Amino acid sequence: MGLPFLGETLSLLWHFKLARRPDAFIAGKRRAHGAGAGIYRTHLFGSPAVIVCTPAANKFVLQSADSFGVRWPMPELVGHTSVVNVEGASHARLRGFILAAINRPSSLQTISTVVQPRVVAALAAWANMGTIVAATEIKKVTFANICKMFISMEPSPLTCQIDRWFAGLVAGLRAFPLDFPGTAFHGARKCRRKLNAVFRQELEARRKVDKECDDLMSGLMHMEDEQGKKLSDEEVVDNIVSLVVAGYESTASAIMWATYHLAKSPVALAKLREENMALSESKAGSPLMITHDDLPKMKYTAKVVEETIRMANIAPMVHRVANKDVEYGGYMIPAGWSVLVWVRSLHTDPNFYHDPLTFNPDRWDEPAKPGTYQVFGGGYRICVTSLAFGNSRKL
Ligand code: HEM
């Protein structure tokens, strides 16, 4: 389990941040202890922990809601009533609201109508800028889209400020929870208070003038459960904040990696262009907007998306905590221990993906082996956007 108190935290950081060989961390464990049941004991970020890293062990943890719960170091940063923080019936109710707000065909249609003109305008602007830092520009356009879709805000000094508050909040989520002036965690709490204030103000302003907007905030404000009960203001704000945290960097990273791989894979780029140009030509005379109905026709595009997300490993692991002593494969996971579902090792395992570190959209001519594609997690907390994607639906 490594050094006292520090455990294997330094080794993990070394593999991820300095050596940039994250898979070597697990490979070392496999070498030392054998592949076995795919379950290893360690100590990370101040807590004894168990790592699971096989399709069967991951499924066991992700699907056992009673045995494994969620635990954020400081729940107030994501919000006590956020979907990522609550359990049981409250989780199911909130998740239902969010799925209805973002994952219905009509919501996906609205999202695509908002997103496309901005992306087209950004591409045209980049072409005129010569050299760009793709990651920076992609983040800008992604955030502009999020502000429009979630709270109907156009880019302004206020949205720039909101972007900075989110950056401060996310920095605190990744830091040790030391709360005194100057720490990332302290800064994150301040940012969270500012975000609360700005979203609350927006909520109240809408209510005062009975303003209707076609956005996520209005969707969450007006939804009712079977008993006709609506979300409280706190729930609306906590979940808007959580959805930005969950959806902003993940989407910007995915687009950035797609750009990177396509720039390095002229054959894949040519095939992608061919499919999209054919679609565009079939729409001659009408606005060249991709609609929800076009998605099934975009088979190669879907493969590029699957392959990009597989290789990017945007969420390399999913965090749980053992609610009670749990036995798995002849081993005991003690109550209170962290459990890390190490999904990235599935996506880079040559037993599941031939030549796994090569970008090859054509590998998706065949679906992945069951349980080996967990980019969106799994079980009752699988990402709320996962149904919008192709292959993950079949798994
Ligand atoms: C490529 C992009 C994305 C990736 C790779 C990704 C990945 C994930 C993963 C691995 C989980 C599971 C976390 C867990 O089990 O604890 C998750 C959950 C979640 N994701 Fe995503 N995500 C992406 C985009 C988004 C977007 C765009 C949104 C919102 C607009 C979003 C909203 C959520 C929410 C709300 C949850 C929590 C669901 C729950 O607890 O029931 N994600 N995501």
**DSSP-assigned states of every residue in 226-265:** TT-PBPPHHHHHHHHHHHHHHHHHHHHHHHHHHHHHHHH-
Q: What is the pLDDT of residues 88-102, one digit of tens each?
A: 999 999 999 899 888
Q: What is the pLDDT of residues 62-121, one digit of tens each?
A: 999 999 999 777 888 999 999 999 999 999 999 998 998 887 788 888 888 889 999 999
Mind listing the domains of the chain with CATH numbers?
Answer: 9-394 (1.10.630.10)
Mean pLDDT of the chain: 91
142 CA → ligand 1 middle, Å: 16
Q: What is the pLDDT of residues 2-54, one digit of tens each?
A: 888 889 989 999 999 899 999 999 989 888 888 788 899 999 988 899 999 99
The confidence score (pLDDT) of residue 118 equals: 92
Q: Which residues contact 311 (CB under 8 A, 6 or more apart)?
A: 257, 261, 347, 357, 359
Atom of ligand 1 nearest to the CA of 146: 30
Ligand 1 pocket: which of 383, 391, 395 to mutate (most atoms within 8 A of CB) = 383
Would the pLDDT of 58 be above 80?
A: yes
Q: What is the pLDDT of residues 280-313, one digit of tens each?
A: 888 876 667 888 888 899 999 999 999 999 999 9
Most confident of 97-101, 210-214, 263-267: 263-267
Token reading at 319: 């965090």
Would the pLDDT of 395 be above 60?
A: no
d(CA 45, CA 23): 19
- Compute the average pLDDT of residues 181-193: 95
Structure-token match 């049941």, residue found: 37
Taking CA atoms, 290 is separated from 109, 122, 198, in Å, by 9, 17, 33
Atom of ligand 1 nearest to the CA of 91: 41
Strands 318-322 and 338-341: antiparallel
Q: What is the pLDDT of residues 365-380, one digit of tens each?
A: 999 999 999 999 999 9
Atom of ligand 1 nearest to the CA of 320: 16
| Whether the Cβ atoms of residue 56 and residue 346 lie closer than 8 Å to each other | no
- The pocket around ligand 1, CB under 6 angstroms, is made up of 83-84, 95, 98, 102, 243, 246-247, 250-251, 254, 309, 314-315, 318, 375-377, 381, 383-385
Count of beta carbons in the 10 Å neighbourhood of residue 322:
22
Residue nearest to atom 26 of ligand 1 (CA): 247
| Residue 319: pLDDT band with limits 50, 70, 90 | very high
The confidence score (pLDDT) of residue 223 equals: 83
The confidence score (pLDDT) of residue 200 equals: 96
59 CA → ligand 1 middle, Å: 17
Ligand 1 pocket: which of 85, 339, 385 to mutate (most atoms within 8 A of CB) = 385
Would the pLDDT of 389 be above 70?
A: no
